[in-house]
Chains A and B, each alone.
Chain A
Amino acid sequence: MRRETIINAALAIGLLAIPLWAHVTGEIFTITLSTRVAILALAAVGLNLALGLGGLISFGHAAYFGLGGYAMGILAFHAQNYDPIFTWPFVFAGTKQMLVIWVVALIVSGLAAFVIGMLTLRTSGAYFIMATLAFGQMLYYLFVSWPKYGGEDGMSIYLRNDFPGVNTLDPIQFFLICYVLLMLGIFVSWRIARSPFGLALQASRQNAERVETVGITPFRIRLAAFVISGMITGLAGALMADLNRFVGPTMFSWQTSGEIMILVILGGVARLYGPVAGAALFILLEHWLGGVSDYWLAFVGALLLLVVLFARGGLIGSLAGREVAHD
């Protein structure tokens, strides 16, 4: 077995075993931390598809994270007020059903990624980074100035949403939902990386001109990847909103975009389990160092610098070594 496979398995099992153990010993807080890891990792799995495989340095993935969050917030808000979202051309009521909320979150963030991708993917380098950032900020200000949905203060959802057959208020049960979705997200990105589409995407990152001369349009490949990437991050946003039972415009902030990117880089760009490693490290540092000093983010910054300078493969890369050629 490849070394990276063993590390991946250890991460997957560890992320499951720790909260289960915490459940047995009654440490609710550890379960909540693990849930945060799973959700942030899922958001980063989304970005990793665009950034890692596609080389698309999106500094605006908060847009999809926020849209997923607000998809949940708005649907649940209308459901708890018994007030339909719109009545024409058909009645669209709010809902407390996670399954419906997820579908809406996936659609909304996918559409947004499609539009934003259409407009930004013609640019590259610093322009692309700035353009994606600009769209994230636009949505941030849109929701800050939208009083109906809480404006700057955001809005609270009093009860966690429902999932058939699951008591979502039980921390371990909600964790398991998030964990399963994370594993699904990883599975999807694993399949994509090995698919013809994934091959074209990775080739477009390395040598777009060559890709064109074999009859493939890099722009369309990138757009499709960007949409899938946005959808996965959007789903994570909906879960995060449910974990916190709160949505606020900071979900859209550029700091959020930066945080998701930091997770990917810390864990290892383009590595399948990089997002999981990155999210786990980030949350652990936040938990340990956050208690020691308010300036814990400075430590994260220093760590990030070390990774970028000396360990391009991130945590996974330094543990597993150079990526080997696929079978």
Chain B
Amino acid sequence: MTEPVLEIRHVHKNFGALRASHDINLTLLPGEIHALIGPNGAGKSTLIKQIAGNLRPDAGEIRFLGQDVTELDTVSRARMGLGRSFQISSVIPEFTVLQNVVLALQGAQGTSYHFFRAVLKDRETTAKAREAAERVGLGDRLAVWAQDLSHGERRKLEIAMALALEPKAFLLDEPMAGMGTEGAAEMTRFLDQLRHEAPILLVEHDMDAVFSLADRISVLDYGEIIATGTVEEIRTNPEVRRAYLGEDEEAV
């Protein structure tokens, strides 16, 4: 069996009396898209935050690239190769698209303590940043301020920033939220390509996208994973249909 890139073992997280994560076990294998679905408030983003290092689990272990990273902070995990996008778009608003991607690049390269070199005059870096922006379809928006981008473009910029890190795994929290049908289809095609670079843990409500992309799906409900399996297994799982897909729905 192949070694998982990311492995979550018995992770627990409570907010007061609320069980946001309860005994979560999950793996992300090389080359796969593993979708994490579940109703609003199920604890998807909470799990992503624990994997990325923004939240500390109450118990359990998070392993990345065969190493226990539970005690590491966000910065170290990012430097190990966790590329992340946020549910609520998170970019640097007063930077241009290019500057945002360059920032991600210099984070990956560890060149943030160069005080005297003009960052945007560095051909190699800007070329790489341009390439990442072009890949998500922002090639003609390089000089636009991030705060002036449309919602969908901001989502793409986030992906470009994650891409620039050349990560070993992607954590994408609802990359298609609010993108519209056209945008979602475009993003779906893009993610389909992206999986060849690094496996993706994908939180997404858009079921068309999930069913067409995912190799495996895990369903989260009230902080618990109630099922993990292939698209077909999840579609036909009665518990899943009850909890999430809606019992009365005939054909999903």
Contacts and interface: CB of A to CB of B under 8 A. Distances in A.
Interface of A: 191-192, 194-200, 202-203, 206-207, 209-217, 221, 224, 325-327
Given A215-B78, A326-B120, 18 more contacts: A196-B119, A197-B112, A197-B115, A198-B115, A199-B103, A203-B92, A206-B95, A209-B90, A210-B90, A210-B91, A214-B161, A215-B75, A215-B79, A215-B110, A216-B103, A216-B107, A216-B112, A325-B145
A196 B115 CA distance: 7
B185 interface: no
B165 interface: yes
B54 interface: yes
B15 interface: no
B64 to A, nearest CB: 14
Nearest to A200: B112
Given A212-B75, A213-B52, A215-B108, A199 B119 contact: yes
A217 B110 CA distance: 11
B94 interface: yes
Contact of B165 (A198, A199, A214, A325): A214
11 contacts: A195-B116, A196-B114, A197-B114, A199-B95, A199-B99, A202-B92, A202-B95, A213-B52, A213-B90, A214-B78, A327-B120
Given A196-B119, A203-B103, A224 B113 contact: yes
- How extensive is the interface on chain B, given as a class? 35 or more
A69 B64 CA distance: 52
A213 B83 CA distance: 7
Contact of A197 (B107, B113, B164): B113
Contact of B106 (A192, A200, A325): A200
B241 to A, nearest CB: 35
Interface of B: 52, 54, 73-75, 78-79, 84, 90-96, 99, 102-104, 106-108, 110-120, 143, 145, 161, 164-165
B107 A215 contact: yes
Q: 10 closest Cβ contacts across the A-B interface?
A: A214-B107, A215-B78, A215-B107, A215-B79, A200-B112, A212-B74, A214-B104, A196-B114, A216-B107, A196-B119
Given A194-B120, A195-B115, A215-B108, A326 B99 contact: yes
Contacts of B102: 199
A207 B75 contact: no
Nearest to A197: B115
Contact of B119 (A198, A211, A212): A198
Contacts of A326: 96, 99, 120
A117 to B, nearest CB: 16
Contact of B96 (A203, A224, A325): A325
Nearest to B171: A213
Given A191-B116, A199-B119, A213 B84 contact: yes
A217 B116 CA distance: 19
A195 B93 contact: no
A57 to B, nearest CB: 17
Nearest to A203: B92
A195 B92 contact: no
A200 B112 CA distance: 6
A100 B34 CA distance: 63
A149 to B, nearest CB: 34
Contacts of A191: 115-116, 118
B93 A206 contact: yes
B108 A207 contact: no
A202 B112 contact: no
Of the listed residues B95, B99, B115, the one surrounded by the most CB atoms of chain A closer than 10 A to its CB is B115
Scoring B111, B112, B165 by chain A CB atoms within 10 A of each residue's CB, the highest score goes to: B112
Contact of B143 (A196, A199, A217, A325): A325
Contacts of B107: 200, 211, 214-216
A200 B93 CA distance: 13
Contacts of B96: 325-326
Nearest to B118: A194
A198 B165 CA distance: 19
Contacts of A211: 103, 107
Contacts of A202: 92, 94-95
